[in-house]
Amino acid sequence: MFSLILASLVQSITEFLPISSSGHLLLLSAVGISEPSLTMDILLHLGTLLAVVVYFREDVKEVLKGLFPKAKTRRLLMQLVVATIPIIVFGFFAARWIETVFRSPIIVAYTAIIFGILLWLADNFFPAHQRLNHMTLKHAFLIGCAQVFSLIPGSSRSGTTMTCARMLGLSRSDSARFSMLLSIPAIFLAVLYGLWQGMTGELVLPSMTESIGGVVLTFFFGFFVINFLMVWVQKASYTIFAVYRILLGIGLLIYLSFT
């Protein structure tokens, strides 16, 4: 039960905060806690997907309205579609290659540091006056291209998208908001990819208690983390996350030097 709670907490925090899930999974494995099974990983992703959909339910309604002809709310839908295209294309052709070539602790450490520095620079030296309703499809596409870097372990999906959004001049709150909304198709695709992997292998179903518990815990943890992030960026900067990433990367490098 402890491992399930810990896995749910790590999944929720690292999915939405720009601090890298790969680095934390590496730390967990270093202390003897194995990564969740494929099936449990899918269930945990479902929990985070529900959390972001429920939290941003008004935005989700606006996106869904954009599916209808002559809808006046199609702008956000088109932005999310355009921003999702790069990771679909690149992921289809190169995701497995990246996972094998770049899945190394040393790369996780360096990407945590590099993208932490980029996040700090973007948040402190770029304007923050643009609102989400001023964002163009070109900007959405560039943020989507930045999301491709999240395929490299240690870079962080939310971290790359928030960094690019801030470089384009979006405010902290709107860059976080768009990153969270962009996570909906990203997490959904991750779930589909996990199911596809399971079809080529064997999905070991956990018990009903573990299945429901994993989804429920991740949902509540994820909802709390999203709320924390959205409140935080309205009052403070991304600096705390950038510094944490840099320290995490340095810590990993020190750990690797002694192993």
Percent pLDDT > 90 in the chain is: 47
pLDDT of 176 higher than 60: yes
- Environment class of 205 (CB within 10 Å of its CB; exposed 0-12, middle 13-18, buried 19+): exposed
Domain ranges within the chain, ordered by starting residue: 2-257
Q: Count the neighbouring beta carbons within 10 Å of the beta carbon of residue 190.
A: 20
The predicted pLDDT at position 232 comes to: 96
Q: CA geometry: angle at 239 spanning 238 and 241, to 5°?
A: 70
The pLDDT of residue 213: 81
Q: How would you class 214 by CB atoms within 10 Å of its CB: exposed for 0-12, middle for 13-18, buried for 19 or more?
A: buried
What's 37's DSSP letter?
A: P
CA angle 49, 115, 86 (to 5 degrees): 55
Query: What is the pTM assigned to this prediction?
Result: 0.90
Which own/partner contact pairs does 28-34 have at CB distance under 8 Å and 24+ positions apart?
30/255, 33/3, 33/6
Residue 189 pLDDT: 86
For residue range 34-78, list pLDDT tens digits in order.
666 667 777 888 899 999 999 999 999 988 887 776 666 688 899
